C-alpha cells in the first residue's frame, strides 16, 4: 500500500536501502538516526503509531552488539508507566534486529527549550512529577536509566515521556555493562559516577533534578563548558537554581546533594510534588501529531483467522476428534483442569509431589532460541498468573524460579472489554500481548474458565468452561499481539438483581498437583452483572469495569473474593 499523503511533520523520507517492513510494522519515514541505528516512523494493521528502532546492518553481525541490544529490549519490556512509551514488539534475532515502542508526538525537552525557552507555570511541576513517576517505574523494575538528559525526554501532550534505555542497566546485571569507562552524558552525570562508582537509583535522581532545573530555567545547574569544567563544578560547587520557585527549589537542592545517601528516592520526589494534572498547558500541546496523519500509511489489515489459520486448523481438528470421542467442551475443560491423564501436566507446572517440571515456557518444550541466561528458568521454573498491579483488568503470566528469585513476565491479557447477553452470559474480548523476544506461546480455549460461586467448605474451584474451541492465539516476537473472544454460558435466567462471576486464566502449567486450582488461586477477574431494579424495565446492562479477584484466604476461604458464597448472597439480596 502506497500513500500519496505528505509525510507528518517531524518525519523524514526513507532513503534507498531502508526496509519497508519490520515485523507487523510498515515503515514510511525516518524519525532519526545515529551511529548505532535508525528510528523509523511506522504503523501496524491496528493503526498503532510506532517508533521502530532498527540496528544498522554493519552492527547486526556483531554478537556483542546484538547482546546489548537484546538487553535493552528486555529492560524496556520490564518498565510500564504512563511516562514511558509503551513497548509494542521486538525481534532481536532478525537479520536486522528491531524494537518497536509507542510513537510519542512532541519535541524533546532540549529542542523545546532551544526554540521556545523554559517551561512556565504549572508545566514545570507537570514535567518534574512525570519524569519522577517514570523513574519510580524504572527503579521498581530493577533498572537504572543512567542517561537522563534533555534529549531523552519528550514533551508529549499527555506529559513527559522518558526515552532511550540504550545504556540502562538492570540492577543485577553487570557483565555487559561494566567496561571500565564512565557511562552517561557530561553535565548529567552524578558526582559518585565521576568518582568511579557504579550508577544507582540515586544517580538517576541527581540527573532528574538537573533536568527539572533545565526545564524551569533553560540552564543546567552546573552551567556550560567543556566536560572537564562541568565535571569540576559537579564535584566541588553547589548547583545554581536561580529561577526555580519554591517548594520545588528545595527538593532539587536535596536531589543534587553530592552524597547520594542524602538524596530523596524517586518515590519521595513524587510524593513531594503536588499533583497538577498530567498534561501540559503550554506550547507542547500544539505540537501533537494527529493520528489521521499516519493512518494512510498503515499496512492492509489481516484478520485474526488469516494470521493464525494454521493454528485454527489444528485447533479445529483437535476439537473434532474430541467431539467424535464423545467429549463435550465442559468435559474437555474439566479434564484439563483436573490434570487428566490424557492431557497430563504441561511441562513447567508442578508434578504430583509439587516439584517443578521442565519446559515452563508453554507448549511442553523449551524454546530452541531461549537465551542461555534463562535456560535454567525454563527447565526448572514455575508458571504463575496474577493480576497486573498497575492495571486491575489485566492478568500477567510469569515464569519464576522456585525460590522466588528470577522471574520473567511472559504474556499480558487485557480482559477489560466485555458485554452481556439477556441470559447473564458474558462475552469477554481479550487482547494478548507477548512480552518476550524469543520462543512462542499458544493460548487455548480451555485455558479459561468461569467460577460462579465458592462455598466456605470448598478447597478447589468449580469451573464452567469457555464456549469456544481450539487454539485462540499463537504469540511470538513476530506476532506479539492477538485479540480473541471468550463466551461463557451461565445456564441462568436473566436477573433483576446484581450478580457477579469470576473468570480465570488457568494454563495447564498452573494446574497444581493433578487437581483443579485451589480456591486461593489468584489468576482471576471479577465481572459484575448489574441487574435492573424491580421497578425498572429489564434490559442488557452496560458493562462495569472488571476488578481483580481477591484470593487472600481467611480460615481457608477467600472471604473478600467476589464469588465467595455469603458475599454473593448479600449482593443478590441488595
Three-state DSSP class for residue 475: strand
Supply the DSSP string of 171-224, one letter for each residue: TT--TTT--SS--S-TTS--HHHHTTPPP-HHHHHHHHHHHHHHHHHSS-TT--
Provide CB contacts within 8 A for 424, sequence distance 6+. Answer: 490, 492, 493, 494, 495, 499, 529
407-420 and 391-400 beta bridge pairing: antiparallel
98-102 and 153-156 beta bridge pairing: unpaired
In whole angstroms, give the CA distance from residue 430 to residue 485.
6
Residue 414: which H helix or E strand, with range?
strand 407-420
Q: At what angle do helices 201-217 and 248-255 cross, to 10 degrees?
A: 140
Distance of CA 40 to the CA centre of its chain: 21
* Cα–Cα separations (whole angstroms), residue 219 to 108, 225, 241, 306, 375: 15, 12, 9, 55, 48
Residue of 44, 91, 123, 147 with catalytic role = 147
For 86-146, give the secondary structure using H, E and C: CEEEEECCCCCCEEEEECCCCCEHHHHHHHHCCCCCHHHHHHHHHHHHHHHHHHHCCEECC
Q: Burial level of 222, CB count in 10 A (0-12/13-18/19+)? A: buried
In whole angstroms, give the CA distance from residue 30 to residue 25.
13
Query: Would you report the helix, strand and coil content of the chain in percent, each value rounded to 5?
Result: 30, 25, 50
Angle at 453 between CA 449 and CA 456, to 5 degrees: 125
User: What backbone torsions phi and psi does residue 353 show, to the nearest 5 degrees?
Assistant: -95, 5
Per the listing, cell 503470566 goes with 397
For 497-511, give the secondary structure using H, E and C: CCEEEEEEECCHHHC
Residues 79 and 137: beta-carbon distance below 8 Å: yes
Residue 432: which H helix or E strand, with range?
strand 426-434
Which residue, 417, 363, 406, is CA-closest to 381? 406
Which residues lie across from 398 on neighbouring strands? Answer: 384, 409
In whole angstroms, give the CA distance from residue 428 to residue 126.
36
| 568 annotated as a binding-site residue | no
Residues 66 and 99: beta-carbon distance below 8 Å: no
Known catalytic residue at 44? no
In whole angstroms, give the CA distance from residue 269 to residue 212.
12
Four-point Cα dihedral 191, 193, 198, 201, nearest 10: 50
Among all residues, which ones are annotated catalytic? 147
Q: Which residues are annotated as a binding site for ATP?
A: 53
Amino acid at each position: 500500500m502506497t500513500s500519496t499523503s505528505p509525510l507528518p511533520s517531524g518525519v523524514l523520507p526513507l532513503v534507498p536501502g531502508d526496509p519497508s517492513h519490520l515485523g507487523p510494522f510498515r515503515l514510511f519515514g525516518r524519525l532519526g538516526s545515529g551511529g548505532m541505528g535508525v528510528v523509523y516512523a511506522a504503523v501496524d494493521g491496528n493503526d498503532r503509531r510506532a517508533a521502530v528502532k532498527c540496528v544498522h546492518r554493519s552492527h547486526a553481525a556483531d554478537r556483542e552488539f546484538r547482546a546489548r541490544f537484546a538487553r535493552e529490549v528486555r529492560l524496556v519490556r520490564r518498565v510500564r508507566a504512563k511516562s514511558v512509551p509503551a513497548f509494542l514488539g521486538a525481534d532481536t534475532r532478525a537479520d536486522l534486529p528491531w524494537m518497536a515502542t509507542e510513537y510519542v508526538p512532541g519535541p524533546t525537552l532540549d529542542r523545546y527549550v532551544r526554540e521556545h525557552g523554559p517551561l512556565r507555570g504549572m508545566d514545570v511541576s507537570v514535567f518534574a512529577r512525570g519524569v519522577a513517576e517514570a523513574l519510580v517505574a524504572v527503579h521498581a523494575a530493577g533498572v537504572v536509566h543512567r542517561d537522563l538528559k534533555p534529549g531523552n525526554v519528550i514533551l508529549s501532550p499527555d506529559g513527559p515521556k522518558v526515552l532511550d534505555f540504550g545504556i540502562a542497566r538492570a540492577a543485577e546485571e553487570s557483565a555487559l555493562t561494566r567496561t571500565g569507562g564512565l557511562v552517561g552524558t557530561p553535565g548529567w552525570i552524578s558526582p559518585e559516577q565521576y568518582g568511579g562508582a557504579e550508577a544507582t537509583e540515586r544517580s538517576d535522581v541527581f540527573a532528574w533534578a538537573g533536568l527539572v532545573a533545565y526545564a524551569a530555567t533553560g540552564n543546567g545547574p552546573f552551567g556550560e563548558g567543556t566536560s572537564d569544567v562541568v565535571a569540576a563544578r559537579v564535584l566541588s560547587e553547589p548547583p545554581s537554581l536561580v529561577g526555580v520557585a519554591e517548594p520545588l527549589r528545595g527538593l532539587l537542592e536535596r536531589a543534587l546533594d553530592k552524597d547520594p545517601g542524602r538524596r530523596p528516592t524517586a518515590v519521595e520526589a513524587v510524593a513531594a510534588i503536588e499533583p497538577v494534572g498530567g498534561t501540559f498547558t503550554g506550547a507542547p500541546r500544539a505540537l501533537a501529531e494527529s493520528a489521521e496523519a499516519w493512518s494512510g500509511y498503515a499496512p492492509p489489515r489481516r484478520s485474526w483467522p488469516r494470521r493464525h489459520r494454521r493454528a485454527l486448523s489444528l485447533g479445529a481438528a483437535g476439537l473434532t476428534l474430541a467431539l467424535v470421542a464423545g467429549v463435550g467442551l465442559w468435559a474437555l475443560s474439566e479434564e484439563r483442569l483436573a490434570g487428566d491423564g490424557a492431557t497430563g501436566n504441561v511441562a513447567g507446572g508442578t508434578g504430583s509431589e509439587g516439584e517443578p517440571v521442565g519446559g515452563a515456557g508453554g507448549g511442553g518444550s523449551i524454546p530452541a532460541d531461549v537465551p542461555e541466561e534463562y535456560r535454567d528458568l525454563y527447565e526448572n521454573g514455575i508458571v504463575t498468573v496474577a493480576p497486573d498491579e498497575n492495571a486491575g483488568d489485566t492478568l500477567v503470566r510469569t515464569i519464576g524460579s522456585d525460590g522466588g528469585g528470577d522471574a520473567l513476565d511472559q504474556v499480558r491479557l487485557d480482559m477489560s472489554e466485555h458485554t452481556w447477553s439477556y441470559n447473564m452470559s458474558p462475552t469477554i474480548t481479550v487482547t494478548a500481548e507477548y512480552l518476550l523476544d524469543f520462543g512462542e506461546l499458544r493460548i487455548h480455549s480451555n485455558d479459561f474458565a468461569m467460577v460462579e460461586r465458592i462455598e466456605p467448605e470448598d478447597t478447589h474451584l468449580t469451573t464452567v468452561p469457555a464456549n469456544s474451541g481450539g487454539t485462540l492465539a499463537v504469540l511470538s516476537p513476530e506476532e506479539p499481539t492477538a485479540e480473541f473472544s471468550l463466551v461463557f454460558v451461565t445456564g441462568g435466567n436473566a436477573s433483576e438483581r446484581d450478580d457477579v462471576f469470576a473468570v480465570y486464566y488457568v494454563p495447564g502449567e498452573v494446574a497444581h498437583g493433578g487437581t483443579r486450582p485451589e480456591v486461593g488461586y489468584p489468576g482471576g477477574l471479577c465481572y459484575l452483572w448489574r441487574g435492573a431494579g424491580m421497578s425498572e424495565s429489564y434490559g442488557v446492562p452496560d458493562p462495569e469495569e472488571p476488578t481483580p479477584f481477591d484470593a487472600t484466604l481467611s480460615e481457608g476461604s477467600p472471604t473478600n473474593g467476589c464469588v465467595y458464597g455469603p458475599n454473593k448472597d448479600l449482593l443478590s439480596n441488595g
